[in-house]
A and B are shown apart, each in its own frame.
Chain A
């Protein structure tokens, strides 16, 4: 370090200037602070994102919007509404009736977490919350099926209504499974795809069973 001993900044060389970040690299989202915008804009932006994802689930194409900007608002809304609609079922004195609110909630969230862990343990490249997001959003067809079932049950609970409900639930179960497989299958190693898809199938089958066996008081 001997050679550096005589290096020093002389006083007549000014050390000043401006350190600015070039404007081009700032992303457009950060142009303004979201604290100043009206609350309506904030809510509408999130609602639009959720709505766009609903549309993506109902018409599953190979788009990455569902995966890239994950959020868990949609799954929460779907899970709560499904659990609420499954209430009011038959519950006789032995309490052998349908699932309670907490049971539906736990099954959906715990099931989604287990399936996500399973796919990650098998070597999948999807992130934890992205997978939760996809599995939660793909409950949408089954929530629609539950709504239809409740409406059909208002009309009557005979054999014909059962057949209608069966057809609707089976169709929506197929739709949910295919939609979630379309989103999740690409991130799995190719020789383990079936190992990852099967638990998803089981998960939506259990939810469909809960919907189909719902009997009003």
Chain B
């Protein structure tokens, strides 16, 4: 007697939960990718946990009738691990609208992920986009900080160099006034070519050809 009823119920269930059925969602898990060696096998107990998490998400929606685990139906579980699920109403006659389920899952996505030690990328609800994490924006971008440090160092170093240059030239200006010997002073200041000061050569309008070399220079080569 109960046997045909059971068949009827499963048939209805089968109709409600089918790939590409109305209000059905496909879920894909990548457990090995996420956990590597610590990967757990996907069995009916994990399925039970999943159904519990979906029911939990539906229950968190305010002002709704309570969803039980039995109202969440899974089907088409593959080796990939992927499957389809639907959430039915208490009468189990029709499925709840996709929009409601979508918003409920999005609200509790973090909890669902954590229950399975997975992430948004390894526990995928196709057709339910995940809210992306907001970017970490520090108040001051890092590059400005480093730039400020480097620029300050450059300014300080340049100022020191300019100041030391001014100081050196002031010292050089003070030295000739201290020297008593005028001949030494002239030798230090005027370049001499063969006894003739270069400045006077220029004044006579002659061209100095530095390229010319006499043969008298006998210097030891390197």
A binds B: no
